[in-house]
């Protein structure tokens, strides 16, 4: 959801019970864009006290501490965290074991990038059906037999599935 204007609102409109959470790694990276190289480690450590807090209430206290320490020098960072707070808070509803997994969307982005790389390097697919299964050389007739199970041999597209 990060960086896609209006997308969180669209998700919430369609799925009202959805909790939309921002990627904390992206929040920190965005924040550090306003910090000199010399001060990055110190500011990043203070930001970490916010997202590593045990509860949302404690995190809000840490944000207040951050604002007190850095608000004059970096008002944009404080404003960003405060304006996005409702999209940060869902993170604190999960236990620490789950938080380690969901604090970033980088794993999902990595999978998407790998898929784009594979499909882009294929050049062209003879049909949309072949593109859906990622086979650049399939013939539509072969696809149809794979999908409807009309062949008795093993499928070249799904080796563990009988046609």
Three-class DSSP labels, the chain = CCCCCCHHHHHHHHCCCCCCCCCHHHHHHHHHCCCCHHHHHHHHHHHHHHHCCCCHHHHHHHHHHHHHHHCCCCHHHHHHHHHCHHHHHHHHHCCHHHHHHHCCCHHHHHHHHHHHHHHHHCCCCCCHHHHHHCCCCCCHHHHHHHHHCCCCCECCCCCCCEC
Asked if the model's pLDDT at residue 13 lies above 60, the reply is: yes
Asked if the model's pLDDT at residue 150 lies above 50, the reply is: no
Find the largest Cα–Cα distance for the chain.
Answer: 73
Q: What is the tens place of the pLDDT at every residue in 58-109?
A: 999 999 999 999 999 999 999 999 999 998 888 888 888 887 777 665 556 6
């Amino acid at each position: 959801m990060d960086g896609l204007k209006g997308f969180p609102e669209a998700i919430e409109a369609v799925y009202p019970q959805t909790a939309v959470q921002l990627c904390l790694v992206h929040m920190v990276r965005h924040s550090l864009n306003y910090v000199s190289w010399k001060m990055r480690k110190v500011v990043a450590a203070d930001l970490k006290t916010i997202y590593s807090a045990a509860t949302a209430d404690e995190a809000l206290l840490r944000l207040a501490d951050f604002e007190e320490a850095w608000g004059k020098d970096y008002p944009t960072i404080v404003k960003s965290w405060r304006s996005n707070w409702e999209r940060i808070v869902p993170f604190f509803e999960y236990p620490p074991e789950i938080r380690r997994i969901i604090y970033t969307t980088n794993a999902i982005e990595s999978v998407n990038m790998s898929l784009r790389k594979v499909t882009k390097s294929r050049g062209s697919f003879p049909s949309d059906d072949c593109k859906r299964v990622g086979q650049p050389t399939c013939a539509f007739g072969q696809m149809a037999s794979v999908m409807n199970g009309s062949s008795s041999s093993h499928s070249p597209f799904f080796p563990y599935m009988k046609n």
